A and B are shown apart, each in its own frame.
Chain A
Amino acid sequence: MLLWVLLGLMVLLSIGCCIFKDLLYVAVSLATISGILALVLFLFGANIAGVFELSVCAGLITVLFIATVSLTKDSDQKVETRLPVYFVPLVVLIFVGIDYFVIQWVAHSVPPSVVPRPSGTFQRVFWELRSADILGQIGLIGAGVFGILSLFRVTSKEKKHE
């Protein structure tokens, strides 16, 4: 029952992200989705992923997003879409229909259970089985830092202009 409520809230908030006019409400909705997702991860025993989701997605990304909304506030606050907002419930109904058929197909075509072959604890998987991936993650973070630095680089032309 709790899982139904949590997942239902997530879906409702994601629909809210489509409807809300104010970007701050959208940012808060996204943070709430992340918080609920962290709770779901905790419910299924994925504690470390839950902590990451809560601290990084619900915390850091929300702060970054609200900062960006504040920095860019003077313009496009209006919801501009190719389809009017009142079409959203109809689109959601279509999505629910597609979802129903996909789930029916999955329920009938995937075997009900598999023989569990656990890879071990998170620590073993992360530091031993996927140790090469850690290098990739470090590279990814480096790429992110480099990307942000290059985006905020002040060129000599801009300096002269200021």
Chain B
Amino acid sequence: MNKEILLLLSSGILLVMTGVYMLVLYRNLLRLIIGVEVVAKGVTLVFLSAGVYRQDIGFIQSLLVTFIIVETVLAAIMLALAVRAQKIYRSLDIRNLSKLRG
């Protein structure tokens, strides 16, 4: 297999693992959002490696555009949730958010 594809895949997997590490181990809501974003960057690299492997960049680009839209909407909602949580609980510690109700 092409070295470039393996390099893309390898970096993507490393980014995903780093993001999951942040998601599992951190308690600050903003850091969890950053973790989700880092995972999203890793997934983008894995998508790109798939596109290069299949030599079908057009199709992968359209998937990436959809993925970027999903990522943006997700980030916006999570950040709004963080602002709201800070307003109500005066803290971004996820242990204090267990009582968060709509």
Interface residues of chain A, those whose CB is within 8 Å of chain B, are 3-4, 7-8, 10-11, 14-15, 17-18, 23, 26-27, 30, 33-34, 37, 40-41, 44-46, 48-49, 52-53, 56-57, 60-61, 64-65, 68-69, 71-72, 75-76, 79-83, 91-92, 95-96, 98-99, 102-103, 106-107, 110, 112-114, 116-122, 124-126, 129-130, 133, 137, 140-141, 143-144, 147-148, 151-152
Contacts and interface: CB of A to CB of B under 8 A. Distances in A.
B22 A152 contact: no
Interface string B30-49: 11011101100100110010
A124 B58 contact: yes
Contacts, number: 221
Contacts of B60: 46, 49
Interface of B: 1-2, 4, 6-11, 13-15, 17-19, 21-22, 24-28, 30-31, 33-35, 37-38, 41, 44-45, 48, 51-62, 64-66, 68-73, 75-77, 79-84, 86, 90-93
A14 B18 contact: yes
11 contacts: A44-B51, A46-B57, A49-B61, A49-B64, A65-B75, A68-B30, A76-B92, A81-B25, A110-B53, A125-B61, A144-B77
A97 B28 CA distance: 28
B10 A120 contact: no
Q: Which 10 A-B pairs have the closest CB atoms?
A: A144-B73, A116-B55, A49-B64, A7-B11, A72-B86, A119-B59, A126-B62, A95-B17, A125-B62, A151-B80
